[in-house]
Amino acid sequence: MINKDQARSVAALSAAEYADVAALRHEIGLRVSAGDFDWVVGLGADIAGQATAEGGPSANHLAVLGHLLRSLAGCAAPESLRALLRTPLSLSPDGRQRQREERALAALVAHGQGAEDIERVVYGEQADTVHPREFRACLLHELVLTGTPVEDSPALLAFAHKLAVEGHPLAVLPLHLLPQEQGLIRPDGAAPDWTWAVSSLAGTFHSAAELHDTPLMRERTAGIDMTEISVPATAEVMGAAVRHWRTDSNGLIAAQDFWSPDPVPPQDFPAVFERLPLTPWEGERARLHPSTAEEVFRILLTAATRESAYGPGQHGAYGRLATWRSLAGLTGAPADAPVERIAESVRQTHWFRPDPGPTWFYDIAWDLAVAALRPDGQGIAVLAATDTD
């Protein structure tokens, strides 16, 4: 139970000053560190009750409950995890917002708690009737992204099978990391702040030498005539990893698809790329660098999981799903193809990184561009996206 002073703090939370909210957040940290989880759970229940009594949560309600949940998620102990799952995971009456918050919390739990504790507490007997289904589905696939050997756990495998039977969207994802995803595994001896995420989407991997077209390339490809065949459905799939930049923010997405009856030799790609009517560059020359499937995967997954300028990210589980959808569109694989088949197309594709230009790109923090020469050499796909605050 929380004491009378804290009860008064909760009752006045809607109109509380910043210092009062900060003091309560500090108290939460102390209580979690001390293992006083009953107090923390009681505070969460009182916040939820007060928000309901006032007809909806205030910004302070949301801030304090969010801090409470993050503190519990980051305290690696089964008692902390049980306390978190006894606490309201969301105060939102909006189902879509509540789902987003559960997805975000799943990512925090996967990185903050031990896999064995998660398996026992979240996926044990009777868990189906206790913990939110979507939270558990996301947590399963967030664990995959941490490199946890999910397939070695009977409980996790059983839950994954239930998701497949139900036709859950995440059920199509493999329960292990594919070759293109191996860069997500934390290296031995990595610094405490190590992350697989790309620190800056634009210009990150340009240590590779810039590619230039040459007179000989132009001569060899003079007869290759690329025709744009872009259609909205394909563009939507290609842009899946960055769709939240547009739907929840101010983003622009350009997804273009080209085809030629004559295959493009990979070594001559710069000369053909230079002639493409690409929306983001509007006639300007785009500097081009070679890339790899692993780099492109990390770039797209980083974009998918991170927040846009004015909205939330898709988080790890759905970010991974969106990334493979984008890769399907870029490589020309069917959007509903098994991920392993898409991965094979990704492996056979030649990848490039065009530099964002100053005209179309906002050049703040949300810019990316990737280009794919498809396995048959006849198709070229280019995805570019930008967002601004």
Q: How far apart are CA 382 and CA 276, in angstroms?
A: 10
Cβ proximity of 110 and 139 under 8 Å = yes
If asked whether residues 71 and 153 sit together in one domain, one would say: no
- With respect to residue 99, please indicate whether it lies within any of the assigned structural domains: no
User: Cα dist. 119→156, 316, 323, 355 in Å?
Assistant: 7, 18, 26, 44
Among the candidates 91, 122, 143, a domain finishes at: 91
Helix H or strand E segment including 106: helix 95-112
If asked whether residues 117 and 48 sit together in one domain, one would say: no
Give every CB contact of residue 350 below 8 A, 6+ residues apart in sequence: 266, 269, 372, 373
If asked whether residues 227 and 120 sit together in one domain, one would say: no
If asked whether residues 227 and 293 sit together in one domain, one would say: yes
CATH number for position 352: 3.40.1000
pLDDT in tens, the chain (389 residues): 555 555 555 655 655 566 678 888 999 999 999 999 999 999 999 998 888 888 888 888 888 999 999 999 999 999 999 999 888 888 877 778 888 888 999 999 999 999 999 999 999 876 666 678 899 999 999 999 999 999 999 999 999 999 999 999 999 999 999 999 988 888 877 777 778 888 767 555 455 789 999 999 999 999 999 999 999 999 999 999 999 999 999 899 999 999 999 999 999 999 999 999 999 988 788 889 999 999 999 999 999 999 998 889 999 999 999 999 999 999 999 988 999 999 999 999 999 999 877 789 988 888 999 999 999 999 999 999 999 98
If asked whether residues 226 and 373 sit together in one domain, one would say: yes
Q: Which domain holds residue 41?
A: 1-91
Among the candidates 123, 158, 177, a domain finishes at: 177
Query: CA quadruple 256, 262, 266, 270: dihedral positive or negative?
Result: negative
If asked whether residues 57 and 87 sit together in one domain, one would say: yes
Q: How far apart are CA 105 and CA 204, in angstroms?
A: 28
If asked whether residues 83 and 171 sit together in one domain, one would say: no
> How many CA atoms lie less than 13 Å away from 329 in the CB half-sphere?
27
Q: How far apart are CA 96 and CA 155, in angstroms?
A: 28
Q: How far apart are CA 273 and CA 271, in angstroms?
A: 6
Burial of residue 129 (CB within 10 Å: 0-12, 13-18, 19+) is exposed
- With respect to residue 34, please indicate whether it lies within any of the assigned structural domains: yes
Give every CB contact of residue 39 below 8 A, 6+ residues apart in sequence: 1, 2, 31
Instruction: Give residue 149's region: left, alpha or beta (phi > 0; psi -120 to 50).
Output: beta
If asked whether residues 238 and 270 sit together in one domain, one would say: yes
Query: Quick check: helix, strand or coil at residue 259?
Result: strand
Among the candidates 91, 123, 142, a domain finishes at: 91
If asked whether residues 361 and 227 sit together in one domain, one would say: yes
If asked whether residues 139 and 56 sit together in one domain, one would say: no
What was the pLDDT predicted at 34? 94
- With respect to residue 278, please indicate whether it lies within any of the assigned structural domains: yes
Q: How far apart are CA 324 and CA 345, in angstroms?
A: 11
The β-bridge relationship of strands 227-228 and 350-354 is unpaired
- With respect to residue 121, please indicate whether it lies within any of the assigned structural domains: yes
What was the pLDDT predicted at 371? 97
If asked whether residues 86 and 222 sit together in one domain, one would say: no
* Count of domains forming the chain: 3
- With respect to residue 202, please indicate whether it lies within any of the assigned structural domains: no
Phi, psi of 234 (to 5 degrees): -65, -40
Q: What's the pTM?
A: 0.90
What was the pLDDT predicted at 378? 97
Phi, psi of 188 (to 5 degrees): -65, 135
What was the pLDDT predicted at 139? 96
What was the pLDDT predicted at 267? 96
- With respect to residue 104, please indicate whether it lies within any of the assigned structural domains: no
If asked whether residues 244 and 334 sit together in one domain, one would say: yes
